[in-house]
Amino acid sequence: MIAFIPAAGYGTRLGSLTAETPKALVPVLGTPMIVRLIQKLTTEGFTRYVINLHHFANQLEQFLRNQSFNVNLEFSCERQQLLDTGGAIIHAAEKLKTSEQFLVHNVDVILPVHTMEIYSAHKKAGAMVTVAVSDRNSSRKLLFDRNNYLCGWINEKTGEVKKAANYTSQHRALAYSGVQWTSRAYLDVETRTGKFSIIDSWLDLCATYPIIAFEHTSEGWFDLGVPENIRLAETYLQKRQL
């Protein structure tokens, strides 16, 4: 199974921690977050990883090549321009399309569920994309209809709403957790290239192709993009000896 790990970002919210280090190498309990993620996903059955590179690209690539993961690592270089998650996936399409389904897992996320639980729901529904979401505090949320199909997006702070063609006022607002299972078909139907948002891509496609929610508990989910959340995650993991 293939996992795509977006790891190219500047990590500006981490301040001085990423001044000379790629975000993916910022430690959590002494272990770089990308190492923790690869170790976790390998125990879940993943054997191939595609990792995108931009900020301190050479440093991150050299570090990973020197590790003994006993898995296949490939790199998708974005040295000229960050492509955002949507653009990054399409840029890496040739590496990803060798599998019927692939996982996308942000490097700075700790997910409290086994990714194969999401995969089972994804396959059962015959979805093009299945997104991990939870009911938690967040200003930006995805909107899902009564059948858990994506139909819009909202910024609850500003009131901005993006309505897909299948939008309905009878919806739930859930926060995206930075993890998705995606069908290879997505790589064929998304025609944009260059830099673009995965959210905008989903909203353009969801009226025609099933993009569904997999709701999980918010306990144990962490966005490691800010120092305070890293400290909270470390306390949580230490208590559970994870």
CATH number at 158 reads 3.90.550.10
Residue pair 214/180 in contact (Cβ under 8 Å)? The answer is no
Nearest to 40 by CA among 3, 6, 66: 3
In terms of residue numbers, what domain contains 59?
A: 2-240
Residue pair 69/42 in contact (Cβ under 8 Å)? The answer is yes
Structural domains counted in the chain? 1
Give the list of residues 6+ apart from residue 45 with CB closer than 8 angstroms, or none: 1, 116
Residue pair 172/133 in contact (Cβ under 8 Å)? The answer is no
Nearest to 189 by CA among 115, 86, 99: 86
Q: Helix or strand or coil: residue 158? A: coil
Residue 158 binned pLDDT confidence (cut-offs 50, 70, 90): very high
- From CA 198, how far away is CA 202, in angstroms rounded? 6
Nearest to 87 by CA among 9, 33, 166: 9
159-216 pLDDT, tens digit each? 999 999 999 999 999 999 999 999 999 999 999 999 999 999 999 999 999 999 999 9
Q: Helix or strand or coil: residue 230? A: helix
Look at residue 143 in the predicted model and tell me its pLDDT: 98
103-115 pLDDT, tens digit each? 999 999 999 999 9
Give the list of residues 6+ apart from residue 77 with CB closer than 8 angstroms, or none: 52, 53, 54, 57
Look at residue 240 in the predicted model and tell me its pLDDT: 84
- From CA 121, how far away is CA 104, in angstroms rounded? 15
Write down the pTM of the prediction: 0.96
